[in-house]
Amino acid sequence: MQSRQLFLIWRLLPLAGFLLVALLVGIHWGAVELSFGEIRQNLWNPSEDSQMSLILWEIRLPRVILAACVGGGLAVAGAAFQGVFRNPLADPFVIGASTGAALGATIALLCLSGSVSILSATWQIPWLILSAFLGALLVVGVVFIIAALSQTGRNAPLLTLILAGMALSSFTGALVSLIMFLNHEMLATIFNWLLGSFSGRHWDEISLVVPVILFSGGLIWLMSRPLDLLSFGDETALTLGLATGKFRVIILVAATMCTAACVAVSGVIGFLGLMAPHMTRIMLGPRHGLLIPGSCLLGAGLMVMADTLARTVIAPAEIPVGIVTAMMGCPFFLFLLISRGQQTK
Amino acid sequence: MNQIEIDNVSCGYSQREVLKQISLCIQPGKVLVLLGPNGSGKTTLLRALFNLVIVNQGKVLLEGQAVNQLSRKQIAQKLALSPQMEAPQWPMTVEETVQLGRSSHRGWVQPFQAEDTEIVDTALQQTGLAELSQRKITEISGGEWRRTLIARALAQQTNVLCLDEPTTGLDLKYQVEILSLIRNLAHERDLTVVLTLHDLNLASCFADQIVLLSQGRIAATGTGEEVLTEERLSDVYQTKVKVLPHPEYQTPFIVPVL
């Protein structure tokens, strides 16, 4: 058994390698190209006055690290939502966590800023994150209450949760649109933020958000076995000894927290939270003990790649990274689905 | 002490009471078979043991303790259930599925130990799944999936084993093998086994005690000879039957009369 667990860790190595390559490429490419020699030199011996060192430490590194953390966080949250809901279509958007966070953040943007350059003042960031988090928790909480109130049969809660989540997501999305509509001058800011981007983020944002992502992601990883049990359905999980209600709440709160932190710092970046767990499941199998760290590594790597593309394709301008994840991810994901179908035939 | 004591229990679901005033004692080392027509409350009685239904009246005692006072984990260490139906969601392997039967002994974080692997391997062998252990549960046959569920319940290593229609979907070989295995386990390890069956003849061969349910009440309880009589079965199932002696064992052998 010991050796088998060691073997499991080995299976994560290719994904870790992929993340490393993505990080290096992400640091290497940009408006100013940093050679790998320069990266190595400036990484070990940062100097105050070197321009290369400044670009590396103040622009590239924070950006790729944040992209990696958000990508990993969204992927882990996606895996958790899919596991809890026993539904392959679930993702961070499905029960309204993401749109709830968007609403919270939009309100915060509205209240906090007189100026257009919202994210330049770092003191605002904690409020933005907190507001996004509260928004997410509020929407998810309402979804839960509705699901509990409308519960009829013995198998009802999962489906009602998803349906209520979808309904509330639309409602919250409409609220965000309404706020944008009523505040023309904020339209561009909010819209840009909603599309998702990592541009202009610094160490301050990272130090606020990353601990939340790490904590909630780690908590979800610890819940691997409960997630495995939940995949057989509530009743079986109960007879196998899992107090399903309690664990479902823990996992959903952790996944919501993770989503909220990601959305708060980077906006709404779609598709990755749905895609990364599925790709990892094809590669590593469905056991959550391996699926969750695997999804995290893959999601992080993909996000760094997407962000690198987003800021280099039409440089010096940037595409919002959410557009890149959807446009690049979707065809690749469909290709994976088809090729897997061919294999099993 | 009785392994399980059901004391004047009325229970069911929020809209509907299924079982009415059931009293039953279950001794260790015996195979108890629940019989009855569809909807007579067999599965509900099993669910009552696990505190999965709303109990309106009476109480269920597990080794002397009220089952609704126990945590889920404690129940899972005493009782195992192989359910009637279960839809697999993700393509886990057979072995991984059976391994999860060990969860209540290992908690939610601690990795599985060598001991667990041994228990899982034994359970896989007993159910004839050793060679299929690496197959995905989404790609195996209905009978193999049923055996996987039984193996998972065996891996829980509880004193009480509940099986809801364990032979449904199995061919004759496995019907007999699984029931023989269960009876041997009961007699050798003093395991208490409660199972529901639809096949009256299998029940008659394998049961130490039969409980015949009809419309949520116990119509009769006792040995096969005592319970499975022509008038009673014709009455409960509303179908005319003849009871003959089994050619080998002299146990009741039931055939419908058209």
Domain at B132, CATH number: 3.40.50.300
The pLDDT tens digits for A64-98 are 999 999 999 999 999 999 998 887 778 887 778 77
Interface test with A, best of B50, B75, B89, B150 (most A CBs within 10 A): B89
Per-residue burial over A12-41, b = 16 or more CB atoms within 10 Å of its CB, e = otherwise: beebbebbeebbeebbebbeeebeeebbeb
CB < 8 Å to A285, chain B: 91-93
For residue A263, the domain's CATH number is 1.10.3470.10
Please state, in angstroms and rounded to a whole number, the distance separating the CA atoms of residues B84 and B197: 11
pLDDT(A153) > 70: no
The pLDDT tens digits for A186-205 are 777 777 777 887 877 778 77
Please state, in angstroms and rounded to a whole number, the distance separating the CA atoms of residues B207 and B193: 10
Q: Which residue has the higher pLDDT, A38 or B106?
A: B106
CA distance A244 to chain B (A): 9
Residue tagged 């991984």 (tokens) = B96
Please tell me the total count of domains within chain A: 1
pLDDT(B164) > 90: yes
Which chain A residue has its CA at the smallest distance from B77's CA? A241
Is B48:B210 a contact under the CB 8 Å cutoff? no
Strand B160-164 versus strand B79-82 pairing type: parallel
DSSP state of B66: E
Please state, in angstroms and rounded to a whole number, the distance separating the CA atoms of residues A172 and A176: 6
Interface test with B, best of A4, A240, A281 (most B CBs within 10 A): A240
Residue among B89, B100, B114 minimizing CB distance to A1: B114
Residue among A86, A241, A285 minimizing CB distance to B103: A241
Determine the structural domain holding residue B21 and report its residue range: 4-256
**Phi, psi values for residue A283, rounded to 5°:** -80, -45
Would residue A5 count as lying in a domain?
no
If you average pLDDT over residues A154-178, what whole number do you get? 81
Determine the structural domain holding residue A297 and report its residue range: 14-344
Is A138:A97 a contact under the CB 8 Å cutoff? no
Would residue A7 count as lying in a domain?
no
Strand B209-214 versus strand B31-35 pairing type: parallel
Residue among B76, B90, B116 minimizing CB distance to A231: B90
Question: Length of chain A, please?
Answer: 345
Residue among B91, B108, B112 minimizing CB distance to A1: B112
Please state, in angstroms and rounded to a whole number, the distance separating the CA atoms of residues A77 and A216: 9
Is B62:B129 a contact under the CB 8 Å cutoff? no
Which chain A residue has its CA at the smallest distance from B83's CA? A236
Which chain B residue has its CA at the smallest distance from A235's CA? B52
Closest CA to B73 of B42, B45, B110, B41: B110
Model confidence at B45, pLDDT cuts 50, 70, 90, reads very high
Residue among A223, A232, A238 minimizing CB distance to B86: A232
Please tell me the total count of domains within chain B: 1
Please state, in angstroms and rounded to a whole number, the distance separating the CA atoms of residues A233 and A84: 9
CB < 8 Å to A154, chain B: 13
Interface test with A, best of B72, B156, B161 (most A CBs within 10 A): B72
For residue A2, what pLDDT is reported? Answer: 42
Is B146:B170 a contact under the CB 8 Å cutoff? yes
Helices (H), chain B: 42-49, 72-78, 94-99, 103-106, 114-126, 142-155, 172-189, 200-206, 224-227, 230-237
Output the CA torsion A52→A57→A59→A61 (10° steps): 120
Cβ of A225 within 8 Å of Cβ of B72? The answer is: no
Please state, in angstroms and rounded to a whole number, the distance separating the CA atoms of residues A147 and A95: 11
Is A221:A76 a contact under the CB 8 Å cutoff? yes
Segment holding A39, helix H or strand E: helix A36-44
Would residue A8 count as lying in a domain?
no
Is B67:B75 a contact under the CB 8 Å cutoff? yes
Which chain A residue has its CA at the smallest distance from B75's CA? A241
The pLDDT tens digits for A328-340 are 778 877 887 787 6
Model confidence at A342, pLDDT cuts 50, 70, 90, reads low
CB < 8 Å to A223, chain B: 108
The pLDDT tens digits for A247-277 are 988 998 899 889 888 888 888 888 888 889 9
Residue tagged 């909010």 (tokens) = A190
CA distance B35 to chain A (A): 22
**Of the given ranges (A86-90, B54-58, B155-159), which has the lowest mean pLDDT?**
A86-90
CA distance B147 to chain A (A): 15
Would residue A68 count as lying in a domain?
yes
pLDDT(A306) > 80: yes
For residue A345, what pLDDT is reported? Answer: 45
Cβ of B111 within 8 Å of Cβ of A232? The answer is: no
For residue B246, give the 3-state DSSP assignment: coil
Cβ of A243 within 8 Å of Cβ of B73? The answer is: yes
Cα angle A306, A309, A312; round to 5: 150
For B119-136, what is the HEC assignment?
HHHHHHHHCCCHHHCCCE
Is B139:B172 a contact under the CB 8 Å cutoff? no
Task: State the complex-level ipTM.
Answer: 0.89
